[in-house]
Amino acid sequence: MSQAKRRRVIAGNWKMYKTQADTRAFFSAFLPLVRGARACDIVVAPPFTSIPAAVEASRDSGVAIGGQDVFWEKEGAFTGEISPPMLVEAGCRYVIIGHSERRQFFGETEQTVAKKTKAALVAGLTPIVCVGELLEHREAGRTEEVCERQFLGGPGALTPEEFSRILVAYEPVWAIGTGKTATPEIAAAAHRFLRKCAERKFSAEQARAVRILYGGSVKPDNIQGLMAQEELDGALVGGASLDAKSFASIVNGCEAAQ
């Protein structure tokens, strides 16, 4: 890479798993295993109710905590929603936006992704904005078309300054929770394509700078192969982030690939 190296991020998305007690137990097992990690940023996104326990248990460790979703208004009559300032007050620094499960089960669209991302940035959060195609899209040769549409409607709807403060996650839906990882080459090709979209929409410099994480069945035994691709700036990890040992070996695998 000729440009300044992008710092890698390993982010765990716990989805609807782990009580507060589970969260405390996770961190007491996990933190000693990643004490030596210096080269990668580490993020954990617990369910909302476990965020305070995660913030407390990870204090002074360098591990950042994130939300798994957020609403775009600061407050109001929006039953069940959580606002960006609420996440900040709870101690979050990151928030995942546009995860395929939000798109699939909760009606997330490109427009809501853009609104949530802008609101999260106003509050000072770092959004991790997810894009990725379904299996039927890939099989029909529509991967680029779908990724471009999701990119342009979400991250591409930001100003250049806003775009400089987000992370993108490429998560092919067919690889999420299925045990089917994209090969490092397939992932790298999609990342290159997303960087091309960023270049067309913003600039070559911004396209080089944006960090793009790969997500989809990342495990301890495939992290090093994935991280051998310099296009991949880290990983968004679901299932394997629930176990302290396996998430730590993903972090340490990323460190080793530096």
Interface ranges with ligand PEP (CB under 6 A): 13, 171, 176-177, 215-218, 236-240
Alpha-carbon distances, residue 82 vs 45, 85, 130, 246 (angstroms): 14, 9, 19, 30
**Is 137 a catalytic site residue?**
no
**Is 191 a catalytic site residue?**
no
Distance CA 236, CA 58 (A): 19
Distance CA 216, CA 137 (A): 16
Shortest distance, position 11 Cβ to ligand PEP, whole Å? 9
Cβ distance to ligand PEP smaller for residue 154 or 238:
238
Shortest distance, position 16 Cβ to ligand PEP, whole Å? 11
Candidates 110, 133, 171, 255; catalytic one: 171
Shortest distance, position 242 Cβ to ligand PEP, whole Å? 9
Shortest distance, position 236 Cβ to ligand PEP, whole Å? 5
CA atoms within 13 A on the CB side of 25: 7
Question: SS3 breakdown of the chain: % helix, strand, coil, rounded to 5?
Answer: 50, 15, 35
Cβ distance to ligand PEP smaller for residue 198 or 236:
236
Cβ distance to ligand PEP smaller for residue 184 or 216:
216
Unique residue bearing structure tokens 């806003």:
162
What single-letter DSSP state applies at residue 177? S
Cβ distance to ligand PEP smaller for residue 71 or 174:
174
- The residues carrying an active-site annotation are 99, 171
